Structure formats: C-alpha cells, structure tokens
Amino acid sequence: MIRLLMVTVLALVFEASAWAGGLLPVYVVVDKVVLEPNADAPERIRIEGSFVRFENGKEYIYGKPVEGYVYLSLESGKEKKCREEWTKWQKAAGTGKVVGVGSSLIAGSFLTVKIRKLDEKTDRPDAAYTTDLLGHFGNLYMEGEWELESPISDLLAFAKARKQAKPENK
C-alpha cells in the first residue's frame, strides 16, 4: 500500500513538473514589427499581432487571444541583446507562426505590459523589453505537436479568423 502511494505521488510530481516545463506564459503571432526611431539604431519596438498570455501571471490559466500591440523600449545595459532579439521578432512578422515567450512562469515585461488596441496611440513605451525570453526550446516558433496545445491552437485560430476578416483579404 505504501509503495502504491509513493508511486502515485511520484507520478503526480513528475506530471506537474513536466507541465511546468512545458507551456510558456506568452504566445504571439506577429503581424508587423516597427522599430523606432529607425531600423539602424532602434530604441523602441512595437510588436503588432495576436497575443495570448497567462490570465493572472501565476498559474497555467490563459486569457482569451487578443489583437493589438505592445510597445517596449531598450532594456538598460542590454541594448545590444535587445536589438539582436528584435531582429528575431522582425523575422517572425507575417509568417503566421506562433512565437513562444518565456519559460515556466517567467515572461518578463511580456507578462504584464499593456496590450494596446491597434488604433490606440501612446507617446512612450509601456515597459522595457526583457531579454533572453525567446527560443527556450531551441526554436523561435512553437510548431508541430505544440500547435495541438490549447493556448497555441486557440491563438492560431484567432489569428487566422482576424486575417480572413480584414477588408484587404476579401
């Protein structure tokens, strides 16, 4: 009986740790990236597209996918690293693929930054860009079996519906 209880507890712990190491806190389908004031020496990034992220930042409960943009500035002391990662965001723009941000429960500024509506104006970035949050699984994109996971499949369906609803696609 004790052995069965121990096996059950170990199985539950393993399953919880596998889950914790699995899904990421933020996913983005990138439509467009704008670097400001210019692409040669950017100080700010605007990432437009479809987003889904943890609802409360502490559990594996996702909100509904939303359309919009995040507006971020360079992280002080990590300007070079930010610009390198911003190149990856540019590469993802328009691909229709899902970019995973963060690991476990960590996603830096992406977890809390305001996701603004596309027509909403702002004079300044809402947060500093947090580096080292891309490609934790060896790839920028969440493809293959990842696309079967609920937050990712929901985001892909949302992004596809948005694209089909745009006037220029009709």
pLDDT in the model for residue 58:
65
pLDDT in the model for residue 4:
39
Q: Which residues of 95-116 are buried (b: 16+ CB within 10 A; e: fewer)?
A: eebbbbbbbeebbbbbbebebb
Residues 6+ apart with CB under 8 A from 77: none
Is 85 within the bounds of a domain? yes
pLDDT in the model for residue 91:
96
Closest CA to 28 of 85, 95, 76, 123: 95
Is 2 within the bounds of a domain? no
Is 17 within the bounds of a domain? no
Backbone φ and ψ of 117, nearest 5°: -70, 150
What residues make up the domain containing 126? Answer: 22-169
Is 156 within the bounds of a domain? yes
**Assigned token pair, 46:** 């605007």
Q: What is the pLDDT along the chain (170 residues), one digit of tens a residue?
A: 554 344 333 333 333 333 345 689 999 999 999 999 999 999 999 999 999 999 876 677 899 999 999 999 999 999 999 999 999 999 999 999 999 999 877 889 999 999 999 999 999 999 999 999 998 777 899 999 999 999 999 999 999 999 898 766 44
pLDDT in the model for residue 81:
96
Dihedral sign, Cα of residue 51, residue 54, residue 56, residue 58: negative
Is 75 within the bounds of a domain? yes
Q: Which residues of 55-79 are buried (b: 16+ CB within 10 A; e: fewer)?
A: eeeeeeebeebebbbbbbbbbeebe
Query: Number of folded domains in the chain?
Result: 1
Is 66 within the bounds of a domain? yes
Is 35 within the bounds of a domain? yes
Is 126 within the bounds of a domain? yes
